A and B are shown apart, each in its own frame.
Chain A
Amino acid sequence: MSEAHTHHEMSFWEKYVFSTDHKIIGFQYMFTGLFMALIGGFFVYVFRMQLAFPGIDVPGFGHVSELAYNSLVTNHGTIMIFWFAMPVLIAAFGNFLIPLMIGADDMVFPRINRLSYQIFLLSALVLIASFFVPNGGFGGSWTAYPPLSAEAQYNATPLGAPMWVIAVGLEFVAFLLGGINFITTLMNARAPGMKMYDIPIVLWMIVIASILFMCSVGPLLAGAIMLLFDQLIGTGFYNPAHGGDPLLWQHLFWFFGHPEVYVVLLPAMGIVAEIMAVFARKKLFGYKTILYSVFATGILSFVVWAHHQFIAGIDPRMANLFTVTTLIISVPIAELCFVYIATLYGASITFSTPMLWALAFMAEFLIGGVTGIFLGASGLDVYYHDTYFVVAHFHYTFVPIAIIGFYAGITYWFPKMFGRMLNEYWGKVHFWGTIIPFNFIFIPLFILGAAGQHRRISGYVHFPDLYTQDLQNLRIIATVSLIAMLAFQVVFIVNMVYSWFRGKKAEINPWKANTLEWTVPSPPPHGNFAEFPTVYRGPYEYSHPDREVDYWPQNEPGPDPAKSRK
């Protein structure tokens, strides 16, 4: 079948723009997501400058009006979740890895895959366009609660608000199409011999994330249509004066919004699992335990959503119930963290760049998880709600997920994706230059939040209690650290571009890993496999006592130690 692919010379457009090749589509998602992250990063720079130095002309932007501030915060959140974390973690890695790791030549529906990306691109363009319409982009927060989001007289963005809803809706459709592709591909297109427990954890995670997304987003998609009608036609779905209910939107939003946390968390945890097993040279501890914990988390994630609404006037009995479920869901997640650490126990660890990122993920995410318990308790949340404590908490979860998870993945699979090795030295410089400022951004925010600093204020000049020198110093520390963190990303961009063209050529299997993507050339050709592999064992047989080499590729004929041991 490989010859069929070679003798057709493809033009640039066919090869890189309208390609149906899963690897190219993965790159398209990745670079679009990274481009959007630059926008999101620029936005946070602007509004952090305004918070630290109220009223200044921010270099590169100018004066930040209240309207602009709201829009910047809203779209920073929206972009980072929907146009950076999701496309990069799920779509980019999912597209690149699924066919390669299961020994297939492509996704099962390549053209639907391409359509998925095109809709995603369209959604990004609609969002970007919304920044340039009169009154600017939507500023009612990424949660878009009505009536603020539903009525132009409140949000002051008659065009920006509906465009935001349309963009988010299109993005959902794109990920539904992509997700169906991921799920069916993993279910049906696996290499002969690859049974349920031979699938690499990262693929399980991406596909479970796609399923969670698919099951939770539907009601919100319906809700988004209703919101759009409220905005454009003037229906009263969320208007209590007409018999509607604004709480309905909050419920629909968080019914999706909480599972969404796991939608982005799981792929990141999957990436970390792959890296840990390879660089610890140990069999991943508790493969099935991990899997079942993830199933439990996935199911539980559908019954915790109202912990975001504790002070929204919801029924207090329900608040009790949701406190309990929220505390329960931290059990499987904590268990996952312990299982991961067990893999490291007694291992001879190589501290390569990907491994550093993976370890940093565990450490930082732990802080995010633990602080979440404060917020999950409905009593404490009355105080903490809408303070910077919440902001710091979810950044301690989302930054490890989206940013650290992405860097872990890209540094690990870079040789396979681009056929060259990333520079380790500059990779480590970038690592420390990102991790240290990251903590200096958000630890001050925890303190500010505990001091009572409310989230949705564009400058604290008019709030004497909050505008003390001490608190302002903390804000300045956070902003300066942010600028440092953003500056260090230049190191990564330069390293990536340089290594892409000038880096050391990568071998087929530079990390001595077991999974199937490391059995094809770097970068893999169109069609991936010259000869389709057969799978003989699970993906984590490292340092097996019967073997001279410390790894055991999945496709190497021979016994399956998981069976013979029994």
Chain B
Amino acid sequence: MAFQVPVATSRSSTGIPTSRLAVWWVLASEIVIFGGLLMSYLLFRLLHTSWGYEAAHTNPYAGGFNTFVLLTSSLFVVLAHQAAEVGDTKRSFRYIWYTIAGGGVFMLVKAYEYTSEIMHGYTMLKSVFWSFYYTATGLHGFHVLCGMVIMGIIAQDVKKGKNLHRVEAIGIYWHFVDVVWIFLFPLLYIAK
């Protein structure tokens, strides 16, 4: 079925393009999802003195490296957006794939961390700290994966010069995933 984009989509009563406006609302809803989880974590973290010792068994160097990876991929996606804006679809396409690669590296490091933690007995059932650790990083990792898949789809469009405005939208989402990690990192890895 030939899907036709409605006229409604191209209207802009607020002055903000519809796709970008929608992403902001998505982020607002994501903030409360992650926020609810992290606030619950924080309440327990401040209550339980032992969680500091638990947190000492995370790997802050792996976490720090992943922060670096995400920050860098954020740079790539903003460059992709900049390239899309000046109409350089080739460069935009390339940068989107750099971003996806960044997400891939992030997931690999995360997988390495999970493996070594589980091998050492720090599983999800070890204590509620670890339950939160796996739930929060897992939920975040799920968002990284979703972002990668969506970017892969958008990259195909960009190559053909279609839907360039979507690069900005996915970029904003990707930065948000980055920002969540910026908070997860000290909450789970550094505060001991």
Q: Which residues of A contact B (CB under 8 A)?
A: 1, 4-5, 8, 10, 14, 18, 20, 99, 104-111, 176, 179-181, 183-185, 187-190, 194, 214-223, 225-226, 229, 233-237, 242-245, 248, 252, 527, 532
CB pair B128–A222 under 8 Å, yes or no, is no
Known: A104-B8, A532-B7. A218 touches B127 (CB 8 A): no
Query: Which listed residue, B21, B132, B135, touches A188 by the CB 8 Å rule?
Result: B21
Contact at B18–A219, with CB atoms within 8 Å?
A: no
**Cα distance A187–B16 in the bound complex, in angstroms:** 10
Contact yes or no, A215 B21, CB < 8 A: no
A105 to B10, CA, bound (A): 11
Chain A's closest residue to B26 (CB) is: A180
Q: Which of B68-112 contact A (CB under 8 A)?
A: none
- Chain B contacts for A183, CB-based, 8 A: 25
Judged by DSSP, the binding face of A is helix
A223 touching B36, Cβ below 8 Å: yes
Contact, CB under 8 Å: B40 / A225: no
Contact at B44–A243, with CB atoms within 8 Å?
yes
Given contact pairs A106-B8, A214-B29, A248-B40, a sample of 16 additional A-B residue pairs in the complex whose CB atoms are under 8 Å apart: A14-B1, A99-B8, A108-B9, A109-B18, A111-B3, A188-B11, A188-B21, A214-B32, A215-B29, A219-B35, A219-B37, A219-B40, A223-B36, A226-B37, A243-B127, A252-B36
Q: How far is the CB of A10 from chain B (nearest CB, A)?
A: 7
A244 touches B21 (CB 8 A): no
A-B contact pairs, 13 of them (CB 8 A): A4-B4, A108-B18, A180-B29, A188-B16, A189-B11, A190-B13, A214-B25, A215-B29, A219-B36, A222-B37, A222-B139, A244-B44, A527-B6
Known contacts: A20-B3, A222-B40, A242-B127. The answer to whether A180 contacts B33 by CB under 8 A is no
Q: How far is the CA of A184 from the CA of B11 in the complex (A)?
A: 11
Chain B residues numbered 8-67 whose CB sits less than 8 Å from any CB in chain A: 8-9, 11-14, 16, 18, 21-22, 25-26, 28-37, 39-40, 43-44, 48
Q: Is the CB of A108 within 8 A of B36?
A: no
Say whether A189 contacts B135, CB under 8 Å: no
A218 & B40 in contact (Cβ 8 Å cutoff): no
When A10-B1, A180-B22, A184-B21 are in contact, do A223 and B12 touch as well, CB less than 8 Å? Answer: no
A104, B128: Cβ atoms closer than 8 Å: no
Most A CB contacts (10 A, CB to CB) among B8, B9, B35, B40 go to B8
Instruction: Give bound CA distance, A175 to B175, whole Å.
Output: 24
How far apart are the CA atoms of A179 and B14 in the complex, in Å? 18
Given A189-B13, A226-B40, A218 and B35 contact (CB-CB distance below 8 Å): yes
Bound complex: CA of A171 vs CA of B18, how far in Å?
25
A243 touches B48 (CB 8 A): yes
B2 within 8 A of A: yes
Closest to A184 in B: B22
Q: Which of B's residues lie within 8 Å of A, judged by CB?
A: 1-4, 6-9, 11-14, 16, 18, 21-22, 25-26, 28-37, 39-40, 43-44, 48, 124-125, 127-128, 131-132, 135, 139
Are B44 and A218 neighbours in the complex by a CB distance under 8 Å? Answer: no
Q: CA–CA, A218 to B32, complex, Å?
A: 5
A180 to B23, CA, bound (A): 9
| Pair B7/A215 contact, Cβ less than 8 Å | no
A235 near B125 (CB under 8 angstroms)?
yes
Rounded to whole angstroms, the CA-CA distance of A189 and B6 in the bound complex is 10
Residues of B within 8 A of A188 (CB): 11-14, 16, 18, 21
Closest to B33 in A: A218
A236 touches B43 (CB 8 A): no
B7 (CB) vs chain A CBs: closest residue: A105
Contact of B18 among A184, A229, A234 (CB under 8 A): A184
Q: How far is the CB of B191 from chain A (nearest CB, A)?
A: 17
A106 — which chain B residues lie within 8 A by C-beta? 6, 8
- Please tell me which one of the listed residues B2, B7, B124 contacts residue A1 in the complex, with CB atoms under 8 A apart: B7
Question: Which of A105, A109, A242 touches B22 (beta carbons < 8 Å)?
Answer: A109
The residues of A that contact B48 with a CB separation of less than 8 Å are 243
Closest 10 CB pairs of A and B: A219-B36, A218-B32, A106-B6, A222-B37, A104-B8, A189-B8, A218-B33, A235-B131, A222-B36, A189-B11
Q: Which residue of B lies closest to A256 (CB)?
A: B36
Chain A residues whose C-beta falls within 8 Å of the C-beta of B124 in the assembled complex = 229, 233, 235
Q: Knowing A218-B35, A219-B32, A222-B33, say if A104 contacts B11 (CB, 8 Å).
A: yes
Nearest Cβ distance between residue B37 and chain A, in whole angstroms?
4
B34 partner residues in chain A, CB cutoff 8 A: 218, 222
Contacts of B132 in A (CB 8 A): 237
Measured between alpha carbons, how far is A516 from B101 in the docked complex, in Å?
Answer: 49
Q: CB-CB < 8 A to B26: which residues of A? A: 180
Specify the chain A residue showing the minimal Cβ separation from B17.
A188
Whether A234 pairs with B125 at a CB distance below 8 angstroms is: yes
* Chain A residues whose CB sits within 8 angstroms of the CB of B12 once the complex forms: 188
